[in-house]
Chains A and B, each alone.
Chain A
């Protein structure tokens, strides 16, 4: 099975800050990585698929990069509505696996 190591597990940031979250796969997953945002009491929302492609309606301050084993989600200028937990998902092969999550908190 492919293990996804996500870091950091939490980050404190202020509105306007640049935030970077990383996911590392235990083996090559090509570009089959997705990023999700989850707010309390809600289901996850797809932000990025195929490592760097935007889901429709996602603000341009979110961007994804990487391929192979190392991937990054960047929020260029954190907005109040971005405080949430973020997860990566490797979708290269079954069994699908999620990263452990990164909670973005208000500093």
Chain B
């Protein structure tokens, strides 16, 4: 059973950089059929896609965050990571990592099928 686990600081100072890592176990995302993705959810609000990375390191970002966000992949450690620069209180949210799958046994899927439990990151001094 594939599992994803987010890790990183739960408190970040305003104007600093938020850094999170997602560790994948019980399977791999190192395939052209998978992307690693980051999604966040401010307290009491809906889901917002932050960005995704494909198996070759190609990245795709939410235009509203693109100038402040980077995502990287370390296949040797089965990890992908998120950085958000110049954070403000508006970046306070539960951050989820998830696997986006495009193809299974010849069937096109295109959805996030496995999610981490989420980690709350608070931006505050």
- The chain A residues found within 8 Å of chain B, CB to CB, are 1, 32, 34, 36, 38, 42-46, 49-50, 53, 55, 87, 89, 91-92, 94-101
Least CB separation from B109: chain A residue: A49
Given A43-B117, A49-B110, A55-B113, verify A96-B49 contact (CB < 8 Å): yes
Cα distance, A100 to B49, chains bound together (Å)? 12
Stretch from B24-32, B58-66, B73-81 at the A interface: B58-66
Which single member of B63, B100, B110, B115 contacts A44 (CB below 8 Å)?
B115
- The chain B residues found within 8 Å of chain A, CB to CB, are 37, 39, 46-49, 52, 60-63, 96, 98, 100, 108-113, 115-118
Cα distance, A32 to B62, chains bound together (Å)? 18
Given A34-B110, A44-B112, A55-B113, verify A94-B46 contact (CB < 8 Å): no
Interface of A: prevailing SS = loop
Question: Which residues in B have their C-beta under 8 angstroms from that of A49?
Answer: 109-111, 113
CB <8 Å contact, B49 and A46: no
Q: 7 A-B contacts, Cβ less than 8 Å apart?
A: A38-B47, A44-B115, A45-B115, A89-B47, A98-B39, A98-B46, A101-B47
CB <8 Å contact, B109 and A50: yes
Question: Which residues in A have their C-beta under 8 angstroms from that of B49?
Answer: 89, 95-98
Cα distance, A55 to B113, chains bound together (Å)? 8
Please give the distance in Å from A22's CB to the nearest CB on chain B: 16
Which single member of A1, A34, A87 contacts B46 (CB below 8 Å)?
A87
CB <8 Å contact, A91 and B63: no
